[in-house]
Structure 1
Amino acid sequence: MSARVTEQEGFAKMVLRLRAEGITNHDLLKAVEQTPRSHFAPPQYQAEAHSQRTIPLDCGSFMEGYDFAVRLLHSLNLKSGQRVLEVGTGSGFTAAVMGRVAERVLTIDRYQTLVGMAQKNLEKTGVRNVIVRHADGSAGVPGEGTFDRILITAAFNSLPRMFSDHLVSGGTLLVPIMMSETHCRVVRVSRTGSRFDREDLFDAPYLPIVQQLASFL
């Protein structure tokens, strides 16, 4: 079976599973279909690229399961012309998908190893409007202005105010929050003027965010 056929079959099965949850966003699913998942999975995990399992990456990081990643992006409600911030680049898969919908994506990671890997993965898929930067995401992104959408893939103990301040009015923030030492949930924060509305969405596999840049990785 060719890689292209495997991609098509993996995508079709994912769409059928998520359709049962009411996830039918055409623009998002088109962007996912145009972003070969196998380009982002490590060689030894190619067979798992389209599964619902998390896939280990270097530096103790991981790729979210295929369904979870798309569910996460669906909850972000991306639109064309938007400016997006992602904290926690990982493989670069979610940044690549967002780059096919939004106008510009800035994605940051504390591990230089992951930054380099994501840049190579993005080059393979031809996505040109995603900027990958080696940066500490625990304290916001000073000097980068505001964003329409913010996606964070490492957990905080409470809502991080510094990222809320990066949101434009009408903007959306998705952030995992540790509800206990072992329980993490994705929370959606919507900003309208000076008001912030919170909605708890679903459980997540994320780990607490680590401060500062990694020294060696």
Structure 2
Amino acid sequence: MNGVPDEREAFASFLLRLRGKGIVARNLISAFEATPRRAFVPDRWQNVAWTEGMIPIECGEAVEGPDLQAEIMASLAIEPGHRVLEVGTGSGFSAAVMARLAARVVTVERYKTLSELARQRFEALGLTNAFVRHADGSQGLAAEGPFDRIVVWAAFDSMPRSFAEQLSSAGVMISPIGPDEGLQTLTKLTKIGSRFEREDIGTVRLQPIVRSVAAVI
């Protein structure tokens, strides 16, 4: 990994944490290593870019810690030919990592500022298979589906059944499901026929899904 020694040390600590959780997939680790996380977080948070906690970004939002991102990507088991939909672009880091694993990543963001910044970062890294859409992603993006994998970085209050038709056969969606306040269940939904097979894989505390596009920012 390129970068100053403290960044390499921080990344090494991140890898140790992943190994402790049983996440050892070489392709996933290589995708994280090839994606400069510090380029996706504000200057004031550079020194904690690889720590577990969430990091504040523009528009009053926050980017999930790399540990949670890695755990979810490991559960998604993204393969080279996959088409991926991400709801909640944030800084664009998770989409950039997934673009190194998949054939195509479409990421949807309700804030225009965040979508533009992510697009600039993808261009700077030469990622030609990551595409940003400034739109309301609460119902997915049916016009660009179907998708083999879907990840949503915000919580639904009930099973998001409208996404089933946007998944390919045996496709996988991961999203939190639960109340706006408190802990939510991180849920893996696998499409079997026209229904979902549900597997609960953890607990998280993320913002509820917002059903609109930001009017100004």
TM-score by length of 2: 0.94
Matched residues in 2 for 1:147 and 1:43: separation?
A: 34
Which residue type is aligned with residue 83 of structure 1? R
Q: Which residue of 2 aligns with 1:163?
A: 163
Matched residues in 2 for 1:125 and 1:87: separation?
A: 21
Shift of 1:4: 4.0
Q: Which residue of 2 aligns with 1:16?
A: 16
Q: Which residue of 2 aligns with 1:75?
A: 75
Q: Does 1:27 align with 2:27?
A: yes
Matched residues in 2 for 1:141 and 1:198: separation?
A: 21
Q: Which residue of 2 aligns with 1:99?
A: 99
Shift of 1:119: 1.2
Q: Which residue of 1 aligns with 2:109?
A: 109
Secondary structure at the counterpart of residue 138 of structure 2? helix
Instruction: Identify if the C-alpha distance between structure 1 residues 123 and 5 changes in structure 2 by more than 3 Å, giving closer, same or farther.
Output: farther
Bigger CA drift: 119-128 or 65-74?
119-128
TM-score by length of 1: 0.94
Matched residues in 1 for 2:147 and 2:93: separation?
A: 20
Matched residues in 1 for 2:53 and 2:195: separation?
A: 37
Matched residues in 2 for 1:143 and 1:182: separation?
A: 33
Matched residues in 2 for 1:201 and 1:29: separation?
A: 20
Give deviations 1:67-124, integer Å, cap 9, x for gaps: 1111121111111110000000000000000000100000011000110111122223
Q: Does 1:65 align with 2:65?
A: yes
Matched residues in 1 for 2:142 and 2:73: separation?
A: 24
Instruction: Identify if the C-alpha distance between structure 1 residues 4 and 119 changes in structure 2 by more than 3 Å, giving closer, same or farther.
Output: farther
Secondary structure at the counterpart of residue 105 of structure 1? strand
Secondary structure at the counterpart of residue 175 of structure 1? strand
Which residue type is aligned with residue 126 of structure 1? G
Structure 2 alignment gaps of length 5 or more? none
Which residue type is aligned with residue 76 of structure 1? L
Which residue type is aligned with residue 83 of structure 2? R
Structure 1 alignment gaps of length 5 or more? none
Q: Which residue of 1 aligns with 2:192?
A: 192
Matched residues in 1 for 2:94 and 2:157: separation?
A: 23
Shift of 1:53: 1.2
Secondary structure at the counterpart of residue 177 of structure 2? strand
Bigger CA drift: 36-45 or 176-185?
176-185
Q: Does 1:131 align with 2:127?
A: no
Contact 2:180–2:207 (8 Å) recurs in 1: no
Matched residues in 1 for 2:61 and 2:155: separation?
A: 13
Percent identity, please: 44
Shift of 1:6: 3.4
Which residue type is aligned with residue 148 of structure 2? D
Matched residues in 2 for 1:159 and 1:117: separation?
A: 31
Matched residues in 2 for 1:145 and 1:28: separation?
A: 24
Contact 1:189–1:196 (8 Å) recurs in 2: yes
Secondary structure at the counterpart of residue 123 of structure 2? helix
Matched residues in 1 for 2:207 and 2:178: separation?
A: 8
Shift of 1:216: 0.6
Which residue type is aligned with residue 116 of structure 1? E
Secondary structure at the counterpart of residue 91 of structure 1? coil
Shift of 1:3: 3.2
Contact 1:184–1:205 (8 Å) recurs in 2: yes
Contact 1:7–1:36 (8 Å) recurs in 2: no
Q: Does 1:173 align with 2:173?
A: yes
Which residue type is aligned with residue 107 of structure 1? T
Cα RMSD of the aligned pairs, angstroms, is 1.5
Matched residues in 1 for 2:4 and 2:30: separation?
A: 15
Which residue type is aligned with residue 18 of structure 1? L
Bigger CA drift: 3-12 or 142-151?
3-12
Matched residues in 1 for 2:99 and 2:145: separation?
A: 18
